[in-house]
Chain A
Amino acid sequence: AQSVTQPDIHITVSEGASLELRCNYSYGATPYLFWYVQSPGQGLQLLLKYFSGDTLVQGIKGFEAEFKRSQSSFNLRKPSVHWSDAAEYFCAVGSNTGTASKLTFGTGTRLQVTL
C-alpha cells in the first residue's frame, strides 16, 4: 500500500529565509509525486509534480522539489520565503499505471512565517 510521511507537523521560518519541507513516501514502483498548498478554509492548489525525467522539478511561486529514489524522498524547497507562503503544505503520492489513480496524502506541514 502506498503511504506518505511528513515528519514535521509545524515549521516556523523568518521571511527571507530558506525553507525545506520533508516528505518520505512508500510505494512499490516509481510513483507520481505531488506537492499541494492549502490556505485556511480553502481547497488545495497544486504547487508541482514529478512524473518522470529530471529529478529536480520546478513549480509555481518559486518552489522546487527533488525526487531521491534511494531515500524515497521528495522534499520541497524555496530559497527565500515570503509572508504569503504561510499555509499548510501536503505531499501526495499516486500510481503511475492502470486505473488506480487515487492520491494518498501525508498529514501536512503547517508553515508559519515571521516578519
Chain B
Amino acid sequence: DTGVSQDPRHKITKRGQNVTFRCDPISEHNRLYWYRQTLGQGPEFLTYFQNEAQLEKSRLLSDRFSAERPKGSFSTLEIQRTEQGDSAMYLCASTSGGQGAGEQYFGPGTRLTVT
C-alpha cells in the first residue's frame, strides 16, 4: 500500500495560465475527493467521485475548475485562467465503500502559487 500520491508537490504559475494536478488514490479505493486548503484554514471540499462518476461539486468549484476521473483510478484537477485567489494547497483523499463518509486518506497535497 503506497498511499495517496499527488503530482506535482509544488507549482508556481503566472496569473492567467492553466494548471493541472494529478492524484493517484489507494488502489482499492473507489471514492476520490478533492479539497482546497488556504493558510490558517481547514480543508474545504471541492468535489468527489465514486468510481468514474462525479457525484458532488461544491459551489467553490467555479467554471474555471474541472475534475475528471476517466477510468475510475487516477484523477486530474484543472484550473483554467488562474487567479491569485487560487493560491492554496490542493489535497486529494480516497476511501472505499458506498455509504456516508468513510475513513478518508489524504495525499501530501499540491501547493499552488499564482504570481
* Interface residue ranges, A against B (CB under 8 Å): 4, 32, 34, 36, 41-46, 49, 90, 92, 94-108
Name which of B48-56, B69-77, B78-86 contacts chain A. B48-56
Residues of B within 8 A of A100 (CB): 56, 100
How many A-B residue pairs lie within 8 Å, measured between CB atoms? 75
A-B pairs, top 6 by smallest CB distance, nearest first, are A94-B101, A105-B42, A102-B45, A43-B106, A44-B106, A96-B100
Q: By the criterion of a CB under 8 Å from any partner CB, how many residues of chain B are at the interface? A: 31
Evaluate contact between A102 and B56: CB separation under 8 angstroms: yes
Provide a sorted-by-A list of 9 A–B residue pairs whose CB atoms are within 8 angstroms. Answer: A44-B91, A44-B93, A44-B106, A45-B106, A90-B42, A101-B99, A103-B101, A105-B44, A108-B42
Residue of A nearest to B43 (CB): A105
The reply to whether the CB of B25 lies closer than 8 angstroms to some CB of chain A is: no
Evaluate contact between B101 and A46: CB separation under 8 angstroms: no
